[in-house]
Amino acid sequence: MSRYLDRHPSMGLVLRIVAAVLGGYALASAWAVLCGAWAPTRVEGILAGEQTSWLLYVAAVIWAFSPVAPARVWAVLVAATLGMLAAAVWVAQRGA
Amino acid sequence: MNMLQASLLAWLLSLGGMVALAFAMDRHYTPWTGRDDIPPALRVLLRGVGVLLLAGVWVPSVWGWSATVGTVAAIGFWSLGALLAAGGMSWSPRWTARAGAVAALLGVSGCVLPLLLALRW
Amino acid sequence: MHKQAKPSGAGQGGFRQAQAWLHTWSGLWFSWLLFAVFLTGTLAVFEDPITHWMTPEHHAEEVAAARAVGPAPSGPTGSMHQRLAWGLAYMQQQHPGASMWELWPADAQGAGELRVYWLDAQGEYAEAQLDPRTGEALPQASHPPLRQTLGGHHFVNFHYELHAGQIGLWIVGIAALAMLVALVSGVITHRRIFKDFFTFRPGKGQRSWLDAHNAVAVLTLPFQLMIAYTGIALSGLTFMPAGIAAYFGAGQDGTRAFQAALNEPGKPVRSGQAMDVPDLEPLVLRGQALMGQPVRAVVIDHPGDAAARIGVYGWNDADSVRQRLSPTSGMAMFSAATGSLQQVRLPGAVDGGTPSLVQSVLGGLHMVTFGGLALKWVYFVCGLAGSAMMATGAILFVVKRRAKHLGEFGSATAAVYRLIEGLNVAAIAGLSLACVGFLWGNRMVPLGLAHRGDWELGVFFGIWALALLHAWLRPSPAAWREQLAALALLCIFLPLLNFQTTGGHLPAYILEGDWESAAVELFVLAAGIAAVCVWFRLRRAPQPKPRRTATVPDDGASSNAMPSRVRPEGGA
CB-based contacts of C250: which residues, under 8 Å, 6+ apart?
C241
Whether A47 contacts C355, CB under 8 Å: yes
Chains A and B touch each other (3 or more Cβ pairs < 8 A) = no
Please give the sequence-ordered ranges of beta strands (E in DSSP) within chain A, or none if there are none: none
Hey, which residues does C128 pair with through a beta bridge? C116
Residues 6+ apart with CB under 8 A from C30: C175, C178, C179, C182
DSSP conformational letter for A19:
I
Count of alpha carbons within 13 angstroms of residue C413, beta-carbon side: 23
Q: Least CA distance to C225: which residue of chain A?
A: A55
Query: Domain count of chain A?
Result: 1
d(CA C162, CA C169): 7
The dihedral through the CA atoms of C396, C402, C403, C407 has a sign that is positive
The answer to whether position C137 is within a domain reads: no
Quote the pLDDT of residue C542: 63
With contact defined as 3+ CB pairs under 8 Å, the chains touching B are: C
Q: Answer yes or no: do C355 and A51 touch at CB < 8 A.
A: yes
State the average pLDDT for chain A.
92
CA proximity to C189, closest of C363, C351, C27, C312: C27
A4 vs C506 pLDDT, higher one:
C506
Contacts of C232 in chain A (CB under 8 A): 54
Count the Cβ atoms, other than its own, within 10 Å of residue C557. Answer: 8
DSSP state of C307: T
Q: Contact at 8 Å (CB) between C60 and C146?
A: no
C315 located within any domain:
no
SS3 C180: helix
Residue type present at position A20: A
CA distances (Å), A58 to each of A24, B96, C192, C284, C396, in order? 8, 39, 23, 47, 24
How many Cβ atoms sit within 10 Å of the Cβ of residue C478? 16
Q: How far apart are CA C287 and CA A22, in angstroms?
A: 49
**pLDDT given for residue C265 in this prediction:** 74
Pairing mode, strands C548-549 and C404-405: parallel
Q: Do C198 and B89 touch (CB under 8 A)?
A: yes
Instruction: Please tell me which of the candidates C14, C242, C362 has its beta carbon nearest to residue A32.
Output: C242
- Alpha carbon distance B49, B81 (integer Å): 15
Q: How far apart are CA C530 and CA C533, in angstroms?
A: 5
| Closest to C125 measured CA to CA, from C144, C100, C104, C106 | C100
Residue partners of C116: CB distance under 8 A and separation at least 6:
C87, C90, C91, C101, C102, C103, C104, C127, C128, C129, C130
How does DSSP classify residue C274? B
Q: Which of A41, A47, A72, A74 to mutate to test the interface with C (most CBs of C within 10 A)?
A: A47
ipTM: 0.96
Distance from CA of B13 to the nearest CA of C (A): 15
A46 and C19 in contact by Cβ < 8 A? no
C-alpha torsion sign, points B82, B86, B88, B89 = positive
Residues, chain C: 572
Instruction: Give B82→chain C minimum CA distance, Å.
Output: 6
Round to whole Å and give the CA distance between B75 and B68: 11
Q: Tell me whether B61 touches chain C (CB under 8 Å).
A: no
Is B9 within 8 Å of chain C by CB? no
What 3-state DSSP class applies to C330? coil
Q: In whole angstroms, what is the distance from residue C480 CA to residue C552 CA? A: 28
CB B14 within 8 A of CB B76: no
- Between C201, C379, C381, which is nearest B90 by CB? C201
Detail the DSSP E strand segments found in C389-484. Answer: 404-405
Domain count for chain C: 1
The verdict on a CB contact (< 8 Å) between B86 and C222 is: no
Partner-chain residue, chosen from B18, B25, B80, that has the shortest CB–CB distance to C381: B80
Distance from CA of C329 to the nearest CA of A (A): 21
Report how far apart, in Å, the C-alpha atoms of B74 and of each of B54, C371, C380 are: 9, 11, 15
Q: Which residue of C has its CA nearest to A30?
A: C242
Pick the residue of A43, A54, A82 with the most C CBs within 10 A to test the interface with C by mutation.
A43
Contacts of C15 in chain A (CB under 8 A): 66-67
**Of B28, B72, B79, Cβ closest to residue C198:** B28
At C126, give phi and psi (nearest 5°): -130, 155
- The phi and psi torsions of C152 (rounded to 5 degrees) equal -65, -20
- Please measure the distance between the N-terminal and C-terminal CA atoms of chain C and give it in whole angstroms: 11
pLDDT band at A3 (very low <50, low <70, confident <90, very high): confident
Give yes or no for A34 touching C (CB within 8 A). no
Q: Would residue C324 count as lying in a domain?
A: no
Among chain A residues, the shortest Cα distance to C263 is held by: A43
Please give, rounded to a whole number of angstroms, the shortest distance from the CA of C378 to a CA of chain B.
6
- Mutation target among A25, A55, A58, A73 for the C interface, most CBs of C within 10 A: A58
Residue B75 near residue B55, CB atoms below 8 Å: no
**Yes or no, beta carbons of A67 and C22 under 8 Å apart:** no
Categorise residue C520: left if φ over 0, alpha if ψ from -120 to 50, beta otherwise: alpha
Check C223 against B79: CB less than 8 A apart: yes
Between CA C470 and CA C472 the distance in angstroms is: 5
Between B and C, how many residue pairs show a Cβ–Cβ distance under 8 A?
89
Identify whether C99 is part of a domain.
no
Q: How close B29 comes to chain C (CA, Å)? A: 12
Contacts of C105 (CB under 8 A, 6+ apart): C80, C83, C84, C87, C114, C284, C295, C298
Neighbours of chain C (3+ CB pairs under 8 A): A, B
Indicate if the alpha-carbon torsion angle C295, C301, C303, C304 is positive or negative: negative
Q: Does A82 touch chain C (CB under 8 A)?
A: no
Mutation site, C42, C194, C198, interface B, largest B CB count within 10 A = C198
Q: What is the pLDDT along chain C (572 residues), one digit of tens a residue?
A: 444 444 458 888 899 999 999 999 999 999 999 999 999 999 999 999 999 999 998 877 777 766 664 455 555 778 899 999 999 999 999 999 899 999 999 999 888 889 999 998 888 889 899 988 888 888 876 666 778 999 999 999 999 999 999 999 999 999 999 999 999 999 999 988 988 999 999 988 899 999 999 999 999 999 999 999 999 999 999 999 999 999 999 888 899 899 888 887 778 888 888 898 899 999 999 999 999 999 999 999 999 999 999 999 999 988 888 899 999 999 999 999 999 999 999 999 998 889 999 999 999 999 999 999 999 999 999 999 999 999 999 999 999 998 888 888 888 899 999 999 999 999 999 999 999 999 999 999 999 898 999 999 999 999 999 999 999 999 999 999 999 999 999 999 999 999 999 999 999 999 989 999 999 999 999 999 999 999 998 887 665 555 554 444 444 443 444 444 433 433 33
Query: Closest Cα of chain B to C55: distance in Å?
Result: 28
Rg (CA), chain C: 29
**C301 Cα to chain A: minimum distance (Å):** 22
Per the DSSP assignment, residues forming a β-bridge with C103 are C116, C298
DSSP state of C399: H
Question: From B84, which residue of chain C is nearest by alpha-carbon distance?
Answer: C198
Distance of CA C475 to the CA centre of its chain: 33
CA dist list (Å): C113 to C71, C100, C110, C230, C311: 15, 20, 9, 34, 20
Domains of chain B: total: 1
Chain C residue numbers with beta carbons less than 8 Å from the beta carbon of A88 are 246
Tell me the C-alpha distance between C213 and C193, whole Å: 12
The pLDDT value given to residue C373: 95
- The list of chain B residues with pLDDT below 50 reads none
Q: Are A38 and A13 in contact (CB under 8 A)?
A: no
Residue C438's pLDDT is: 98
Q: Where are the beta strands (DSSP E) in C20-120?
A: 100-104, 114-119
Q: What chains are in contact with A, requiring at least 3 Cβ pairs below 8 Å?
A: C
> What pLDDT digit, counting tens, does each position of A9-52 carry?
788 899 999 999 999 999 999 999 999 999 988 999 999 999 99
Note the pLDDT of residue C74.
54
Distance from CA of A92 to the nearest CA of C (A): 10
Chain C within 8 Å of B99 (Cβ-Cβ)? no
pLDDT at C552: 43
- How far does the CA of residue B114 sit from the closest CA of chain C (Å)? 20
Q: Which residues, including other chains, have CB under 8 Å from residue C254's CB and lie 6 or more apart?
A: C244, C245, C248
Closest residue to C374, CB basis, from B7, B28, B89: B7
C553 contacts: CB under 8 Å, gap ≥ 6: C568, C572
User: Distances in Å between the alpha carbon of C449 and those of A35, C23, C145, C148, C193?
Assistant: 53, 47, 10, 8, 55
CB atoms near residue B8 (< 10 Å) = 17
What pLDDT, on the 0 to 100 scale, is given for residue C9? 81
C494 and C521 Cβ atoms separated by less than 8 Å: yes
- For residues C8 and A17, is the Cβ–Cβ distance under 8 A? no
Are the beta carbons of C336 and C273 closer than 8 angstroms? no
Closest residue to A51, CB basis, from C13, C19, C358: C358
CA C370 distance to own-chain centroid: 16
Q: Do C378 and B76 touch, CB atoms closer than 8 A?
A: yes
- Are residues C10 and A65, on separate chains, in Cβ contact within 8 Å? yes
pTM for this prediction = 0.91
Q: CB of C370 within 8 A of CB of C321?
A: yes
Half-sphere exposure of C82 (CA within 13 A, CB side): 14
Contact B13, B104 (CB under 8 A): yes
Record: contact C180-A54, CB cut-off 8 A: yes
Alpha helices per DSSP H over chain B: 3-23, 26-33, 40-56, 58-64, 67-91, 93-120
pLDDT of residue A93: 86
Please answer yes or no on whether A49 and C243 come within 8 Å at the CB atom: yes
Of chain A, the end-to-end C-alpha distance in Å amounts to: 44
Record: contact B76-C219, CB cut-off 8 A = no
Chain C interface includes A48 (CB < 8 A): yes
Which residue of chain B has the CA closest to C369?
B69
Residue range of the domain that includes C504: 409-567
